Amino acid sequence: MTRPPEGDDSDGTAERKMRFLFQLRSAGVTDARVLSAMERIDRGRFVRGIFADRAYADVPLPIACGQTISQPSIVGLMTQALRIGPRDTVLEIGTGSGYQAAVLACLARRVYTVERHRQLAREAQALFADLGLSTIVSLVGDGSRGLPDQAPFDRIIVTAAAEDPPGTLLSQLKIGGIMIVPVGQSDAVQSLIRVTRHESGFEYEELRPVRFVPLIEGTAND
Ligand code: SAH
């Protein structure tokens, strides 16, 4: 065994981080700002229990309430596809573990994130506070309705699959705004769609096949 270089901790954190970033680049995450956001936010903080040792692998993992934390490369590709500017206000639907929201918070001015499970929202809020991510506003509710009081948004990201891009959310997008949403049946492969709102209407682009848990209307009873 060689000694880790000066400044490195002996548990291999630096090497693990390098491997994590290498996986992201290999999957097509090339935007330097997105990579540095994902270097900064430790995914290990968002994964618990028996799955914690796989936090840096490029796989989705189970979280509480029967939900999943997305695969890091998908988080990276979705974030990159959003083309976030530093003055943007972003709406995320499906807080889950809070990992995606934390990455968004490194790039945007403010992030609103909505989750239908109170338990998940509460745990994510505690993590945001612990990590000093004070620009994230975390709310419990039915995200398929968006947040009419805060609308319109520069960017919207939906991290659960809808059968169609939700009209209510589209109406809460600014002109020039971008929405990323997985579209399709929840038990099949879905398509990741980028919607750009122009003066004259909406432009749709299909980005890649993905698999997400379904967007479910209403709040959960927990
Ligand atoms: N972005 C998350 C992964 C989300 S998994 C992360 O980084 O960990 C999808 C999440 O969407 C689940 O937590 C699920 O409860 C939530 N969800 C599904 N339908 C919803 C709705 N209508 N409103 C708000 N959240 C919803």
What ranges do the domains of the chain cover?
13-210
CA atoms within 13 A on the CB side of 106: 20
pLDDT tens by residue, 31-89: 999 999 999 999 999 998 889 899 999 999 999 999 999 999 999 999 999 999 999 99
Angle between helices 72-82 and 13-26 (to 10 degrees): 60
- Residue 22 in this model has a pLDDT that exceeds 50: yes
Q: What is the pLDDT of residue 5?
A: 53
**The pLDDT of residue 157:** 98
For ligand 1, pick from 136, 213, 221, 222 the residue to mutate: most ligand atoms within 8 Å of CB.
213
* Of 123, 121, 210, nearest in space to 159 by CA: 210
Catalytic residues: 70
Is pLDDT above 50 for 10?
A: yes
Ligand 1 centroid to Cα of residue 127, in Å, is 16
pLDDT at residue 3 greater than cutoff 80: no
What sections of the chain are H helices per DSSP?
13-26, 32-40, 72-82, 99-105, 118-130, 167-170
Is 69 close to ligand 1, i.e. is its CB under 6 Å away? yes
Atom of ligand 1 nearest to the CA of 143: 23
At 210, is the pLDDT very low, low, confident or very high (cuts 50, 70, 90)? very high
What are the counts of helices (DSSP H) followed by strands (DSSP E) for the chain? 6, 9
Question: 157-197, pLDDT tens digit by residue?
Answer: 999 999 999 999 999 999 999 999 999 987 888 999 999 99
pLDDT given at position 7 = 47
Is the shortest distance between the CB of 81 and ligand 1 below 6 Å? no
Tell me the CA–centroid distance for residue 157 and ligand 1, in Å.
Answer: 11
Q: Is the pTM value of this prediction over 0.85?
A: yes
Residue 47 Cβ inside 6 Å of ligand 1? The answer reads no
CATH of region 13-210 = 3.40.50.150
CA nearest to 79, candidates 207, 173, 170: 207
The pLDDT tens digits for 134-159 are: 999 999 999 999 999 999 999 999 99
Pocket test for ligand 1, best of 95, 172, 190, 221 (most atoms within 8 A of CB): 95
Band of pLDDT at residue 12, cut at 50, 70 and 90: confident
Q: What is the mean pLDDT of the chain?
A: 94
- Of the pLDDT bands very low, low, confident and very high (cuts 50, 70, 90), residue 9 is low
Output the residue whose Cα is nearest ligand 1's atom 19: 215
User: Which phi and psi angles does 16 have, rounded to 5°?
Assistant: -60, -40
Q: What is the CA(139)–ligand 1 centre distance, in A? A: 12
